Amino acid sequence: MTESRAAAAASVSAPVADRRPTARTHHGDTVQDPYEWLRAKDDPQVIEHLEAENAYTQARTAHLESLRERVFGEIKSRTQESDLSVPTRRGDWWYYGRTVEGKQYGIQCRAPLASPDDWTPPELSADVEVPGEEVLLDANVEAEGHEFFSLGSFEVSTDGNLMLYGVDVAGDERYLLRVRDLRTGQDLPDEIPDTFSGASLSPDSRFVVYSTVDDAWRPDTVWLHELGTPVADDAKLFHEPDEKFWVGAGFTRSDKYLMIGLGSSITSEEWILDADDLRGQARVVWPREEGVEYDSDHAVVDGQDVLYILHNKNALDFELVRVAASDPQGTPEVVVPHAPGRRLLGLSTFRDFAVIGYRREGLARMGMFDYATSGIDELTFDEPLYAAGAAGNPEWAPPVIRLGYASFVTPGTVYDYVVATGEKLLRKREPVLGGYEPADYAQQRMWATAADGTQVPVSLVWKRSFGDELGDAPRPLHLYGYGSYEHSIEPGFSVARLSELDRGVVFAVAHVRGGGEMGRQWYEDGKLLHKRNTFTDFVDCARHLIDAGITSPDRLVAEGGSAGGLLMGAIANLAPELFAGVLANVPFVDALTSILDPSLPLTVIEWDEWGDPLHDADVYAYMKSYTPYENVREDAAYPHILAVTSLNDTRVLYVEPAKWVARLREAGADALLKCEMVAGHGGVSGRYNAWRERAFELAWLLDVLGVAEA
């Protein structure tokens, strides 16, 4: 503990939550939970306790105020605040976003095409007026009078006349849908409250397709609203009663069909509806089958409407088949067979070709897919670690495909890929002000050996001026992890991360089991009754970095968020001696309590990921053995811990980190809680607010690492 931090700790007293034991009995096991009363969000005493925690955290970190301001200033000074995105063509317009210096939110704009054959996006400049520009939505105006603002849906109709947008001003991810007539600039009378994100306008601009959620915050119903009619008259297109399934809907790129998709963690089902007959009868693509996931997209091959279906039936890493759209349950034609070690991720269809994504050797890849031959032409890039994928391609018959690209050292880059020639046209690279040079930084992948012999990939990035080679001396290191839901942590660039790297910190990602980096089996080996592999993999990665001389326990801070926050709580219990600090964002640290209560948001659908402890005694015992809140150790010397949460988070409730911090303090841990009182799972809204939030976290992290100065 630094002298200033020690002085701060001595000068203020930590809040002490009352112990009000609540009994919980399952499978013959009774647990007395002293802090479950903190779940009562409307109880003034709960709010008083959270505000006391915030005040304590502010007092304990007051010595970091100047460092926070420096880090915030560094993020701000490296960011081109007035900027524009690369325009994307749709219909007769180029669509793009603006950011303006001093404003929190983006501005959505469009400008007319030069001609119908215009596929070269205009080169825009923040200080040059764009001919014919129309401002569609200025989020700064829409956000006036609100502490929080988020767009959940944003779409312009095919004919370019209407704009659909959904607004959340609380952070609870309930959106009010509105439709604006872009010819007049006025909103239509149609307003649809309490919707989920991802609403769509029909191709003929007559209808809005949207979803609503049940009491457990599960999107369970798809609705059809005809513009100009009362919302009370909206037609129910689909309702899914099974609490394990989420429901959503969207139109194919071809505008031919509406696809209604249902999914649990392990099973999916799709229904197809003709876009020109939305009041007609939907038909199932493939009836659901437990453990079978699939996703389909429409194409026209030899004049026939077909569906390409990516699925995992008897194909662990998925295969691609083709069926007739009129008879999707007919005999499928295998076009890309299953290949162990090549995890197929998705297919985006266009009129004349498709783009296919897959993972191989721990990296995401992409290629052009030929309808006639079913061949894949893989796109290649120069860096050994990178992330690339098709992005922002609404047109059905484009001659170019928009690509997004980045690495740990290369800022976000936009290419247009010319399909006919294979040429990649650089459209924009995210500007990083202040003289940033990618060559000044190095990235590397190494492999750590887990206790069971599994090789776990670890990605690292650092600044070369502190040493070209790692392992010559222990360095301050920031180790990030997630490891759930088959979510992969890709190599990506971060302006904020430069404030660490330029102080000599090595940033690393432990690609632990439970994620998807190494294929579907990698995920299977880190879920349900194999979940402990996620935690032990992270600990083994930390030990590898220490044993290799790259860092040391007093110079190592771990970070994870949401399910990665569960990882943080678990590793703090498993190996507290390996870490100087643990940063847990919206952490899922009271997992057993939450997963036992089917009335809580998202619980039932989560049983496929974690198991069902309510009805299965073995799952109950297994989860109880690792859930962080229930396994806080009295005998452990815990690292410094900072938990960050939000009062209106509907995914991981604020009560989990609140209880966890209270329990950690009982065990003598130096634990801080920061609760945003008007925000959701993603934290605060507005880019400057988000920068300040990250500056707060990084200042704490840098202080723990002892590298406050650049």
The one catalytic residue in 562, 594, 646, 685 is 562
Angstrom distance (rounded) from CA 379 to CA 367: 5
681 given a catalytic annotation: yes
562 is catalytic: yes
Q: Residues 424, 403: contact at Cβ < 8 Å?
A: yes
For residue 323 the two structure tokens come to: 């069926």
**Which of 338, 669, 349, 664 lies closest to 520, judged by CA?**
338
CA distances from 223 to 233, 533, 566, 607 (A): 10, 41, 35, 27
Distance CA 150, CA 682 (A): 10
**Token pair recorded at residue 63:** 């010595």
CA 280, distance to chain mean position in Å, is 35
Amino acid at residue number 512: V
Cα R_g (the chain), whole angstroms: 26
Q: Which two tokens stand for residue 67?
A: 């460092």
Phi then psi dihedrals of residue 364, to 5 deg:
-75, 135
8-state DSSP, 672:
E
Residue 25 burial (CB count, 10 A): 8
Of 85, 681, 685, 703, the catalytic one is: 681
Give phi and psi for 383, each to the nearest 5: -80, 150
Give the separation between CA 710 and CA 701, rounded to whole angstroms.
14
**Contact at 8 Å (CB) between 601 and 518?**
no
Residue 462 and residue 475 in contact, taking contact as beta carbons nearer than 8 Å: yes
Residues 160-182 as b/e (b if ≥16 CB within 10 A, e otherwise) read: bebbbbbbbbbbbbbbebbbbeb
Which position has the token pair 């005493």?
A: 45
Do residues 558 and 583 lie in contact, with contact meaning Cβ atoms separated by under 8 Å? Answer: yes
Phi-psi sector, 517: left (phi>0), alpha (psi -120 to 50), beta: alpha
User: Which phi-psi region, left, alpha or beta, contains residue 251 (left: φ > 0; alpha: ψ -120 to 50)?
Assistant: beta
* Residue 290: φ, ψ to 5°: -50, 125
Which H or E run includes 26?
Answer: strand 22-26
| Residue of 540, 590, 649, 670 marked active site | 649
Residue 273: half-sphere exposure toward Cβ, Cα within 13 Å:
22
Phi, psi dihedral angles at 539 (to 5 degrees)? -60, -40
Q: Is 649 a catalytic residue?
A: yes
What six digits make up the tokens of 168? 């959340």
The pair of structure tokens assigned to 175 is 């959106």
- Cβ neighbourhood burial of 206 (10 Å; 0-12, 13-18, 19+): middle
Write the CA distances from 130 to 57, 94, 133, 253, 506, integer angstroms: 47, 11, 5, 28, 42
DSSP state, 689? Answer: H
Measured between alpha carbons, how far apart are the two ends of the chain, in Å?
A: 20
Strand partners, 510: 458, 481
Which residues form the catalytic set? 562, 649, 681
